[in-house]
Amino acid sequence: MTGAFRPVDPAVMRRAAVEAERTAFKSALDAALRTLAAAALSAALSLGAWQAWRWATASPAFALNEIKFSGLLHAQESELIRRSGLVLGENLFRVDLPRVARAMESHPWVESALLTRRLPGTLVVNIEEHHPAALVQLGEKSMYVLDEEGRLFKRAAAEDGLDLPIVTGLSRQMPRPELQLRLLGALHLLDIWRGAGYAVSTLAEVRLDDDGYTLFAHQGDGLQEIRLGSSQLPLKLRRLAQVRAALARRGEMAARIDLDNPARPDQAAATLADKR
């Protein structure tokens, strides 16, 4: 089957090219107009926001008139305010919250500080303090406070009013990893002591020996030395209760109880206290 070839009319081609060019121009113009409109709107919003911020940071309506603290037990509000540099009457929006938080966290008792603005003029400060677990003696005259995370966070002072067991047998010259490991071991022992039903307040001293633990616990009017060693601590503390109960039935009390007998782990040796 054959057919005659018909050439395209040049006029039709020109009209098609003009129409395509017109469509492309219109699309580009629409896109440009949308971009300009978005830019104008953004500029207007930015200008409005800037003017609103300028007004808010200068308005006396947002003057700082109250600082509310929560979570304080050892740190004092007045000391934290002094460290922070906060001044009543300053504009609440101009308070640099991260800087103020860092300043409050420089207090030895403060682990973290979270600050929140409460309009129109209140600053809410939530303080998380270190939770003391024990005192740690490093050297003859150096006493520090150990928190529940195993951190020595401050020097102990009489005004702290802490009635906690003292961890001894450590040296400032110990390599830091070894010191940290032994401090965590002491905290673990306190957990075991508590889990065995004893009050931590009855512990006067936890001595970290090279081969284990020796405790000094309040009993009656004196201190009882308890040699634990380093293994099977929960079992040994249950045995301690049995030894104490057996002595109490006889009207006696031990000055020293040795629960670390590798040859006879099922036995305990007791040195009786002098009767008065």
CA distance 110 to 75: 7
Residue 133's pLDDT band, with cuts at 50, 70 and 90, is very high
Same domain, 84 and 192: no
Same domain, 81 and 193: no
For the chain, the average pLDDT equals 87
What pLDDT score does 126 carry? 98
Residue 144's pLDDT band, with cuts at 50, 70 and 90, is very high
Residue 107: Cβ-neighbour burial (10 angstroms; 0-12, 13-18, 19+): buried
Which of 129, 144, 172 is the last residue in one of the domains? 129
Residue 59's pLDDT band, with cuts at 50, 70 and 90, is confident
pLDDT tens for each residue of 219-272: 988 899 999 999 999 999 999 999 999 999 999 999 999 999 877 767 788 898
Asked whether the CA dihedral 183, 185, 191, 193 is positive or negative, the reply is negative
Question: What stretch of H or E contains 269?
Answer: strand 269-272
What pTM does this model have? Answer: 0.77
Which of 109, 129, 149 is the last residue in one of the domains? 129
Residue 125 clears pLDDT 90, i.e. is over it? yes
Residue range of the domain that includes 258: 132-272
Same domain, 71 and 142: no
Same domain, 149 and 205: yes
Helix (H/G/I), strand (E/B), else coil: 143: strand
Residue 58 clears pLDDT 90, i.e. is over it? no
pLDDT tens for each residue of 6-47: 565 666 556 655 666 666 656 665 666 567 656 665 655 565
Residue 201: Cβ-neighbour burial (10 angstroms; 0-12, 13-18, 19+): exposed
Interaxial angle between packed helices 77-84 and 97-105, expressed in degrees from 0 to 180 and rounded to the nearest 10: 130
Same domain, 204 and 245: yes
Report, as an integer, the average pLDDT of 68-83: 97
Angle at CA of residue 260, ends 254 and 264, nearest 5°: 105
- In-domain check, residue 29: no
Same domain, 138 and 189: yes
What's the number of domains the chain is made of? 2
